[in-house]
Amino acid sequence: MQNRGGITSFVETVARTPLWNLWNVQFISTHRRGSVAARTLVFARAVAAFTGTLLVRRPDVVHLHMAKDGSYFRKAALLWLARLRRVPIVLHVHAGEFRLFYDRMPRSVRWSIRWTLSRASVVVALGGRWAQRLREIAPDARIVAIPNPVQIVGAGRQPDAADPVHVVFLGTMGDPKGTFVLLEAWSKVVANSSGVPARLTLAGNGEVERARDTVSRLGLADTVDVRSWLSPDEVADLLGTAQVLTLPSRNEGQPMSILEAMGRGLCVVATDVGGIPDLVEDGASGVLVAPDDVDALAAALNSVIDDADLRTRLGQAALDRARSTFDVDVIWRRFDALYRELVPAAPQSDGDLRTRS
C-alpha cells in the first residue's frame, strides 16, 4: 500500500488478524499519491477490478473506506456499483473533518452525501461523537461506532534520571496538525524547564523543510530532531524509545498515532478535537488542551516531562484503556459480527483465533 494515513494503518492492522482469512478479503486500492494522470489511472484500474469482482464473484460484503474530498467521490461511485449487484455495503468513514466537508459542499453534493450514507447497509463511525455528527447529516442511515484498532505492545521503559524524556510527534507536518504551534510551545518548554532533560522528535511528511527552518529560527536544534516519513518498522522503533506522544491538531478523526502510543503505554498530550476525546480521557489517560493554545500545550508538556509519576500513571491508564476498548483482537471480532449480521448464511467462526503480531 503506497498511501500514508489512517485508512492505510487500519487496513494494515486488520490484515494481520484472522478476519482477513475468515472472509477471504480482497483489497483494492483506489488512490495513490502522484500526478493527476497517475491518480486517474489508479482509480480507473480500481473500478475495473471492482466491477470484475462484482460481476464474476459477487462478494458477500463490500467494505468501503471513505474520507473526504476525492475519497468521498471515489467511494460513492463504488457504492452505486455495489448497490446494482445488491451486495451488502459497510461504509467506513475515517475523515475527522467530514462534517466540515459536507457543510462547504453545494446543495446538490450535500444531497448526494446524504443519499450515499443512507444507502449503505451500515455506516461505521470511529466514535460516539462522530456517529452523532453523521446522524445529523443522514438521519435515516444506520450508523454504528467502532473505533480504530491497535496492536497492544505493552509499556516501555521510563528514562534513567540522566536521560532525556523523549517526546514524539507523528503525522503530516503543517498547520492542521499543529506542528508549528508545537514548536512554539517547545521553545517555552525548554525555557521553563525545571532541569529534567527532554528531547522532541517530529516524523512525517508535509512541510518538513518548513519545520526544520522553524527549529533553526527558534534555536531548538539541540533538543529537536525533524525526520521525514518513516516506515511502520521505523515508527515502531521510534515509539519504543519514547515516553510521550503529542498531537496538537486543529481537527482529527481517530489518529492511529495516538492509538499506537496508547498500546505502548505512552503518555499522550493532545488537543480536545474531533475523535481524540473518544480515545483519551483528559486527566485520566492523558492530557488534552485546546487547539492553537501555545501556553496550554507548553504547560501540559512541562507537567508530564517534569513529573515522572504523573507520566507513568497516565501512560499505564492509556495502556489499560487500549487493552479494554481498542485492542485489535476486540475490534476485528466486532467487524466479524457485523459482517455475519449482513450475511446470515456465513459459517460461524470457532476456536481461539488471535491476531498475529
Handedness of CA 96, 136, 282, 355 (dihedral sign): negative
One domain for residues 16 and 144: yes
Considering the domain architecture, whether residues 137 and 261 belong to the same structural domain is answered as no
Torsion of CA 232, 237, 239, 242, to 10 degrees: -160
- Give domain status of residue 110, yes or no: yes
Residue 347 resides in a domain:
no
**Same domain assignment for residues 300 and 214:** yes
Structural domain includes residue 88: yes
Picking from 165, 172, 161, 171, the residue whose alpha carbon sits closest to that of residue 186 is 165
Note down the domain range covering 181.
165-326
Cα–Cα distance list, 253 to 62, 69, 97, 277 (Å): 22, 15, 7, 10
Residue 164: what pLDDT? 94
In a domain, 300, yes or no: yes
CATH number for the domain spanning 12: value is: 3.40.50.2000
Q: Cell numbers at residue 10, please?
A: 487500519
| pLDDT at site 128 | 86
Look at the chain and report how many structural domains it folds into.
2
- Report the 10 Å Cβ neighbour count for 355: 19
302 in the same domain as 284: yes
Pair 347, 60: CB distance under 8 Å: no
Q: Do both 307 and 170 map to the same domain?
A: yes
Establish if 155 belongs to a structural domain.
no
Question: Is the pTM value of this prediction over 0.75?
Answer: yes
Burial class (CB in 10 A: 0-12, 13-18, 19+), 60: middle
What is the Cα gyration radius of the chain? 21
Q: Are residues 83 and 224 in the same domain?
A: no
pLDDT tens per residue, range 58-78: 999 999 999 999 999 999 999
Q: Which residues of the chain have pLDDT under 70?
A: 1-5, 155-162, 346-357
Which three cell numbers, joined as nine digits, stand for 8?
Answer: 492505510
Q: Under 8 Å CB-to-CB from 38, ≥6 apart: which residues?
A: 32
